[in-house]
Amino acid sequence: MNYTDIKEIEGKVLGKQVDYPQQYDPTILVAVPRKPNRDIYNIDTPSNLFTGYDTWHAYELSFITEKGLPVSAMLKIVYDCNTPNIVESKSLKLYLNSFNMTRFGFSAQSGLDIVLGIVEEDLSEVVGSRVKVFAFKEQEAENLVDKSIDYTVLEDSIFSEEITFERFDEAPDLLKTSENSSNTEQTFASHILRSNCKITNQPDWGSVFIRISGKNNIDAESLLKYLVSFRNENHFHEEVCEMIFKRIYDNYKPEDLAVTCIFTRRGGIDICPSRTTRIDWLFNNLVSEGILTEKLIRQ
């Protein structure tokens, strides 16, 4: 599959004027292959490099029962990061809106159970593996980030305002090793991550959490410069997370590494990918489909 083919797939509905479906329509869903972008960054065998999940929160699910009662809920969608495809976000928005005037069940709960089963089946078909979907009607939320881990927020560090930032296209050569390298664990966060949609060029805002252990310590100033260099990059959320992971992995050869990106909601959906070399470094509440997590300030 060549570059032109991929661009046609990715832009099937994204960046175009598309009418909202008036009735349930799974054909609007667009599957985007993961492999072409991974090839660019030499992620040849992803399952040997990292594990992780793509976690989506969709805030605009609604349908009507057989008696015409409207039902609304928020969906949490979780699937493995090594599925053959991702689902393109605008197509998911249109798909979920196709439920709006379609009738399911004779009660709110029976209708919701039917819809969840349909969504799981349709999305599993699109991404090429099992997708877990859970619906929330209440807003009680658990902590997103493990409070026992003290993440250094890079832009709040004392050195941040003394830096001159000059590069705004992804620049892995900015990453430097600390002079105080030792076999230690480091944790960093930033809430000023920005990239742009691959098709529409609209900005995507987010937070990133990085946890790393090994002999080569990250120089914090260089990491902040690197993250700022994403400002003009055009990529899907999942791709941004994997690029950050791979660049850090290649530069520092860590024993273990975890990267989690929490992106701002756009079009009724937020996408939160996580990649790690060890499963216990994942944000458990984030990747568990039955747990609603608190929102960060930019969400």
Q: Would 3-136 and 152-282 be classified into the same CATH topology?
A: yes
Distance CA 215, CA 272 (A): 29
Instruction: Burial-class residue 134 by CB neighbours within 10 Å (0-12, 13-18, 19+).
Output: middle
Catalytic pick among 54, 122, 204, 219: 204
Q: Please say if the pLDDT value at position 2 is more than 70.
A: no
Tokens of 138: 């209440």
**pLDDT tens sequence across 114-172:** 999 999 999 999 999 999 999 998 777 899 988 889 999 999 886 777 889 999 999 99
Q: Just give the CATH number of 3-136.
A: 3.30.1130.10
Interior CA angle at 32 toward 31 and 35, to 5°? 135
Q: Are 237 and 204 in contact (CB under 8 A)?
A: yes
- Supply the pLDDT for residue 212: 97
Domain ranges in the chain are 3-136, 152-282
- Pairing verdict, β 152-153 and 70-80: unpaired
**pLDDT tens sequence across 216-262:** 999 999 999 999 999 999 999 999 999 999 999 999 999 999 999 99
Q: Are 99 and 63 in contact (CB under 8 A)?
A: yes
Catalytic pick among 54, 81, 197, 241: 197
Q: Are 7 and 33 in contact (CB under 8 A)?
A: no
Q: Are 29 and 120 in contact (CB under 8 A)?
A: no
Q: Residues of 91-125 as b/e, b for ≥16 C-beta within 10 angstroms?
A: bbbbbbbbbbbbbbbeebeebbeebbebbbebbbe
Name which CATH class applies to 152-282: alpha beta
- The amino acid at 242: E
Grouping H, G, I as helix, E, B as strand and the rest as coil, residue 231 is helix
Tokens of 123: 């999305």
Clarify whether 39 is annotated catalytic: no
**pLDDT tens sequence across 182-207:** 768 999 999 999 999 887 888 999 99
Cα–chain-centroid distance for residue 20?
24
Clarify whether 204 is annotated catalytic: yes
Say which residue, 56 or 16, is predicted with more confidence.
56
